[in-house]
Amino acid sequence: MGQPTFDIDHRKSVERTTSVQSLPGRSVSSQRRIYTPLWQHFIGALILCAAIIAAAAAYISLYGDEEDAIAQQSVALKLPPQPAPFDSLNGTGSALPDLFSEVTANTNPTEIMAQQQRDALGNPIGGLAGAGLPEVMAGQNLVETRAPSDINAITINGQSINAGLIKAPAAGLARTTPYGSIPARANDGRTAFKVYARPYTAAANLKPVSLIIGGLGINRALTTQAINDLPPEVTLSFAAHAPNLQSQINAARARGHEVLLELPMESEAFDPAEPGAEWALRVGSETMAQNKRNLDRLLSRASGYFAVTNYNGGLFLQRSDSVVPMMAALSDAGLGFVFDGSVPAPSLTTLANASRLPFLKAFSLIDSNPDSASIKAELDRMASLASSGAAPVGVGFTYPQTIEAVSEWVKSLQGQGLTLAPVSSRIPSQ
């Protein structure tokens, strides 16, 4: 085999040729080339892609329509159903669900409430007959029922302060009007007068004396002070036109106070511009239909009161043609009527008996002069009458001096052989 030969003078030539003597009968001429590196191909590909992208962008810029990206129409989206607004003040909504008894271990209260059918007032259907108590159901099995004295009991140092007041509204004690739900006699004979009153058992060797503090609901700070500072045996009276009336009544009853609703009535100095005057019960045959509507509207403002009382009424309460329809409506509603005694109205007891309406006339105003010394003197006069067995009922208002004087006065009652009794315990049932 011959040796390869190299041309020294052509070292820098691009191509080199080497002749190789192959096997006998065959010869191969091989030409060796120097190839371009791969990285140069890669850079070329990138340059090509960039050129294509630039060309596309230029085309869109010259011939594209920028308005194609602007929305020309709108599509209405249907919102999911919203819950109905709830306002316990005007009676248009359903009462919020609540558990009226404790939930046993390993049960889900949400599932229990979902399975429980409720009436239009939000109360469970199938409550205990005669007691106004709902049953908490898990499927078809009764989980627990509670006695009236145990419902929503609030205790301080182990002592109950709300005396087992039944949560309002109780099932079956209402009917629907254009203004909302108002009290009504239940089919089983229960009435708001009996169900919403504070239970009372006379204490041995102690004589009763009772107090009503009215005008609540207008001044929120004084209302809260009266609810919290006065003993729960003091009956509280709320103005029917007060804002947030139901929540304030609920707070009072949670502290153990039974509640009255104040109905505005026409007096000699009636002022049509006074708050709540448009709902007032007024005299005259031409107002009878309006009085019926106004009474329904006033009674629909809240639930949980056992009776009503008058706010003013010097003219209205002296007119039997005006009073009798009101008393008949209150009797049908299963309520009572407490007259504050502030105006002359000697025929009210007779008219109430004729209407079979639970009725009581209070003893006197204890703070007609809102002076601490004067209020204390009236309270002491009441205590003296109570000691003689008269069982007087005093009426005051939410003056700071009244709240303070009453809070101090009740501390001395037991030492005088007296006890504070809720006003409902002094009203004979019809």
Identify whether 258 is part of a domain.
Answer: yes
Q: For residue 307, is pLDDT > 70?
A: yes
Within 10 Å of residue 280's Cβ, how many Cβ atoms?
Answer: 26
Q: For residue 9, is pLDDT > 60?
A: no
> Strand, helix or coil at 322?
helix
Highest mean pLDDT among 150-154, 322-326, 367-371: 322-326
Last residue of one domain, picked from the residues 146, 164, 194? 146
Q: For residue 317, is pLDDT > 60?
A: yes
| Domain match, 276 and 419 both | yes
Strand 336-339 to 259-265 pairing: unpaired
Choose between 178 and 85: higher pLDDT: 178
Q: What is the DSSP string of 211-248?
A: EEEEEETSSHHHHHHHHHHS-TTSEEEEETT-TTHHHH
Identify whether 200 is part of a domain.
Answer: yes
Identify whether 16 is part of a domain.
Answer: no
Residue-level pLDDT at 203: 84
| Domain match, 114 and 216 both | no
> Strand, helix or coil at 329?
helix
Structural domain span for residue 127: 109-146
Cα gap 175→181, rounded to integer Å = 5
Identify whether 59 is part of a domain.
Answer: no
Write the DSSP symbol of residue 157: T
Closest by CA position to 213, among listed 386, 405, 343, 358: 405
- List the structure tokens of 254: 């949670």
Identify whether 310 is part of a domain.
Answer: yes
% of the chain surpassing 70 pLDDT: 68
Element (H, E) at 110: helix 109-115
What confidence tier does 45 reach under pLDDT thresholds 50, 70, 90? confident
| Domain match, 137 and 280 both | no
26-40, 109-123, 302-316: range with lowest mean pLDDT: 109-123
Burial class (CB within 10 angstroms; exposed 0-12, middle 13-18, buried 19+) of 203: middle
Q: What is the pLDDT of residues 127-166, one digit of tens each?
A: 333 333 333 222 222 222 233 333 454 544 444 556 678 8
Cα gap 326→332, rounded to integer Å = 10
Q: For residue 103, is pLDDT > 90?
A: no
| Domain match, 131 and 249 both | no
pTM of structure: 0.64
Residue-level pLDDT at 5: 47
Q: How far apart are the first and last CA of the chain?
A: 144
Counting the structural domains of the chain, the total is 2
Choose between 79 and 120: higher pLDDT: 79
Last residue of one domain, picked from the residues 146, 163, 196? 146
| Domain match, 251 and 360 both | yes
What's the mean pLDDT in 97-122? 44
Residue-level pLDDT at 122: 38
| Domain match, 254 and 377 both | yes
Residue-level pLDDT at 39: 75
Identify whether 280 is part of a domain.
Answer: yes
| Domain match, 187 and 277 both | yes
Identify whether 314 is part of a domain.
Answer: yes
Highest mean pLDDT among 148-152, 233-237, 345-349: 233-237
| Domain match, 265 and 131 both | no
| Domain match, 120 and 242 both | no
Identify whether 119 is part of a domain.
Answer: yes
Q: What is the pLDDT of residues 165-201, one digit of tens each?
A: 889 999 999 999 999 999 999 999 999 999 999 999 9
Give the side-chain half-sphere CA count within 13 A for 380: 6
| Domain match, 115 and 228 both | no
What confidence tier does 271 reach under pLDDT thresholds 50, 70, 90? confident
Choose between 69 and 147: higher pLDDT: 69
Choose between 62 and 111: higher pLDDT: 62
Q: What is the DSSP string of 269-299?
A: T--TTSTTGGG-B--SGGGHHHHHHHHHHHH
- Encoded amino acid at 64, one letter: G
What CATH number does residue 403 fall under?
A: 3.20.20.370
58-62, 79-83, 184-188: range with lowest mean pLDDT: 79-83
Beta strands in 69-150 (DSSP E): 136-138, 141-144
| Domain match, 215 and 140 both | no
Residue-level pLDDT at 393: 95
Residue-level pLDDT at 135: 30
| Domain match, 369 and 415 both | yes
